[in-house]
Structure 1
Amino acid sequence: MMRIGLFLLTNLAVLVIAGIVLSVLGVGSYKSGGSLNLTSLLIFCGVFGMTGSLISLFMSKTIAKMSTRTQVIDQPRNETEAWLLQTVAELSQKAGIKMPTVGIFPAMESNAFATGWNRNDALVSVSAGLLQRMSPDEVRAVLAHEIGHVANGDMVTLALIQGVVNTFVMFVTRVVVYAIDQFTANEEGEGGLGWVAEMVLTIVLDILFGILASAVVTWFSRKREFKADHAGATLADRQSMISALQRLKAESGEESMMKGSMTALAISGGRMSAMFASHPPLDERIEALQRGR
């Protein structure tokens, strides 16, 4: 229920803010006199596409903490939490960023994630299972990997890419729906799809094109994982980074064990096509580190 509530609130915020922005820009309907105003349509799609992506980015820390039940470490209660804070402080200083908020989430699978709207206001969280299963050197490498994501600005980069993809999907969908509507109308311009059919077709095509276009986002995501692995090897230790990936491979059997959308070291969508996987195969990542990339 919490995730559904957050989803609804996020989308409500998108509608409200996008509506305000469109009013300020003076953008009205992109349909006028039976014709399609492509400029107005592009602005309309750009506002909605980028607004949704940016709101998700700005809310990412809150959503991540609530959806994973991350407990932020304000004051360490034991040696493990004190070590985590000290290690993250050391690695973030080495990476040249402000120390992120540090947390632990109650999951038995080995995993971790980093999120936040900028490199100096981020959250790094690890699972309880990761702390239990991995050695201190391996945990340190995982933390360095996540800090590498933060230092490289991956969250912002992917949010902007997602915004562009959203814009493209909305634009193409509405052009296609308009073309079908015009094709099915008679010479007097009557008939066509009708309001209900047009709305349903728009929703269906938004979903279909959105799924296809997500391959672009996941391609960028896979590229950023290699860079984060390199950061982990540089900030911590190359062999420890390799060891952490090897341990994860042994645990997961090349299957993502993360439930939900917050994946970090795991492979996202193990049964899905490699085109739509947000993380490269572990063997490729290990090989890249062994080659010194």
Structure 2
Amino acid sequence: MGYVKTAMLMAAMTALFMGVGYLLGGGSGAAIALIAAGGMNAFSWWNSDKMVLRMHNAQPVAPGDRAGLNVLVKELSGRAGLPVPKVYLIDAAQPNAFATGRNPENAAVAVTSGLLQRLSREEVAGVIAHELAHIQNHDTAIMTVTATFAGAISMLANFAMFFGGSRERIGVAGTLAMMILAPLAAMLVQMAISRSREYEADRIGAEICGDPIWLADALEGLERSAAAIDYMSAERNPATAHMFIINPLHGQRMDNLFATHPATENRVAALRQMSKSTGSKRRKSDARSETGKSRPWGK
């Protein structure tokens, strides 16, 4: 089913791309856009994950890292019955994370340094488990393709508005269409990753890590920190915002109707209800202080 959704999304993006091409150059422009879209679809399928990682300057985490991140990802992948994805670290103060890759065999998980600095081991496990759930559900294929393709459509729309086509043919209506296409592409990206998909990843992630409370606590901490800390790389690449576990954007906020993520309080409530219904209990570990609160990963 994941591949069918990806194909449908590619077709929609291609239609948009051809529409811009038509406004730029009529029938010839549409034909050129169709050829370009075919190449872009192929390139996005095979390389979009690498492009997204480069956008955020994600660096591979070496095996045997002192933080133990690779060990944790390997352990959780085993619980999920998944191949172990590649692990990347992003030097960013905002705590956040995302998964990418066209399938579970070619997947990667990226976390920010802020995530490791601010969350406990249990909470980090909850976040990683959520990202593994996206990989398991093949959500990452849609995430990575739409991020790169929507960005390309937006750039083409801007190019058409400022440089392309004769004013006689495009006219005011065409110019207005160019202005609408860029945000429309962003809306398509947001719609592609439905709110129910995030809830499903929360549910499966809670099962993978073993305790819904770990992920619930992580989401609350991430929400507070993300609201207070800017993530400039994400602001420069807003088409990738839907990939993160928490919306990383500040300046690009939109009305809730077009939000890339469900409300965090609703996600947390669902996880806490899941904890009650399954009878799971908060597990103790040496990562907890005398007050019962989790200490950050590295402390």
Select the residue among 21, 44, 48 that pairs with 1:56.
Answer: 44
Q: CA deviation at 1:161?
A: 6.7
Q: CA deviation at 1:163?
A: 9.8
Task: Find the structure with the greater CA-based Rg.
Answer: 1
- Is the partner of 1:103 in helix, strand or coil? strand
| 1:191 aligned residue | none
| 1:107 aligned residue | 92
Tell me the matched-pair count: 235
1:1-293 alignment runs, 5 A limit: 48-49=36-37, 51-78=39-66, 80=67, 83-158=68-143, 195-198=166-169, 205-212=177-184, 214-223=186-195, 224-236=197-209, 237-253=211-227, 257-259=230-232, 260=234, 261=237, 262-263=240-241, 264-270=244-250, 271-292=253-274
Q: CA deviation at 1:233?
A: 0.8
Task: Report the Cα distance in structure 2 between the residues aligned to 1:288 and 1:137, rounded to whole angstroms.
Answer: 18
The normalised TM-score by structure 1 is 0.65
Kept after mapping to 2: 8 A contact 1:53/1:162: no
| 2:296 aligned residue | none
Task: Report the Cα distance in structure 1 between the residues aligned to 2:54 and 2:123, rounded to whole angstroms.
Answer: 26
Q: CA deviation at 1:162?
A: 7.7
- Is the partner of 2:105 in helix, strand or coil? coil
Superimposed CA distance per residue, residues 223-267 of structure 1 (whole angstroms, 9 cap, x where no aligned partner): 2222221122111120100000111122234x7843324441222
Output the aligned Cα RMSD. 3.8
AA aligned to 1:283 is E
User: What 5-or-longer segments of structure 2 have no aligned partner?
Assistant: 1-13, 15-20, 158-164, 276-299
Task: Report the Cα distance in structure 2 between the residues aligned to 1:64 and 1:101, rounded to whole angstroms.
Answer: 14
AA aligned to 2:181 is F
Task: Report the Cα distance in structure 2 between the residues aligned to 1:41 and 1:138, rounded to whole angstroms.
Answer: 51
The verdict on how the C-alpha distance between 1:67 and 1:216 changes in structure 2, with shifts beyond 3 A counting, is closer
AA aligned to 2:58 is T
The normalised TM-score by structure 2 is 0.64
Task: Report the Cα distance in structure 2 between the residues aligned to 1:62 and 1:160, rounded to whole angstroms.
Answer: 11
AA aligned to 1:292 is M
Identity %: 27
AA aligned to 1:247 is G
Superimposed CA distance per residue, residues 247-289 of structure 1 (whole angstroms, 9 cap, x where no aligned partner): 1122234x78433244412225453112332112211211222
Task: Report the Cα distance in structure 2 between the residues aligned to 1:292 and 1:46, rounded to whole angstroms.
Answer: 47
The verdict on how the C-alpha distance between 1:164 and 1:136 changes in structure 2, with shifts beyond 3 A counting, is closer
User: What 5-or-longer segments of structure 1 have no aligned partner?
Assistant: 1-17, 19-28, 174-193
Kept after mapping to 2: 8 A contact 1:88/1:99: yes
